[in-house]
Chain A
Amino acid sequence: AQSVTQLGSHVSVSEGALVLLRCNYSSSVPPYLFWYVQYPNQGLQLLLKYTSAATLVKGINGFEAEFKKSETSFHLTKPSAHMSDAAEYFCAANFGNEKLTFGTGTRLTIIP
């Protein structure tokens, strides 16, 4: 079955440290992939999107993600964490239709 898996429901990093949030997909055909962020009491905001044009995708707020077909992964990274990055992050995919299939989400905590 087509699915999205996010490893680590909670991730804590120190301010200024590297942020790495993991996402893997299960599909025979690479899907369109998205990362969304949800701040408290707000909706889901798009961080970035992979559409096969480039394997390294740059998004807003200094985030980027690299698509690796061999690993069926689309991990999200940011070189230096900021306190304002504390939020919940969702990886999502379009598997051949318009609906988004979401991962379970990763709550990112930034330690001062």
Chain B
Amino acid sequence: EPEVTQTPSHQVTQMGQEVILRCVPISNHLYFYWYRQILGQKVEFLVSFYNNEISEKSEIFDDQFSVERPDGSNFTLKIRSTKLEDSAMYFCASSEPGPGLAGLGHIQYFGAGTRLSVL
């Protein structure tokens, strides 16, 4: 069964360093997402990406964050200068094309996540 894969499973970095979290969405999917879950808190939406551009982003997704689909298979989240409060589990998700408003109601398939620890 197709799945979303994320690498690495655990990333440790020093405060102020740049990190890139990588995701390989399901191959025929067109909508891509990043979410994060700080320990003990809700899963929070960060950004959605469609047709090579950001379609929506949350207040969390400030100038320190960026996303990219550098080729036909990878989808990356970059944090330019990590802060202690960026420590969280980061989930990538993708959804397939379907009827209706882009992405609305579509099933999102999640990867296993990357645990980011900022020291």
Contact = CB atoms under 8 A, between A and B. Distances in A.
Partners in one complex: yes
A105 B35 CA distance: 15
Contacts of B91: 43-44
Contact of B104 (A32, A41, A45, A49): A32
Contacts, number: 66
A105 B106 CA distance: 21
Given A43-B4, A102-B42, A103-B42, A96 B104 contact: yes
Interface residues of B, number: 30
A90 interface: yes
A32 B101 CA distance: 12
24 contacts: A32-B104, A36-B110, A43-B110, A43-B111, A44-B91, A46-B108, A49-B107, A51-B105, A92-B43, A96-B101, A96-B104, A97-B101, A98-B33, A98-B48, A98-B55, A98-B56, A99-B48, A99-B56, A99-B58, A100-B35, A100-B43, A102-B43, A104-B42, A105-B43
Nearest to A98: B103
B42 A99 contact: no
Interface in A1-51: 32, 34, 36, 41-46, 49, 51
- Interface majority SS (helix, strand, loop, mixed), chain A: strand
Contact of B45 (A32, A90, A99, A104): A99
Given A45-B110, A100-B45, A101-B45, 15 more contacts: A32-B104, A43-B91, A43-B112, A49-B105, A49-B107, A90-B43, A92-B43, A94-B104, A96-B101, A97-B104, A98-B104, A99-B48, A102-B44, A104-B41, A105-B42
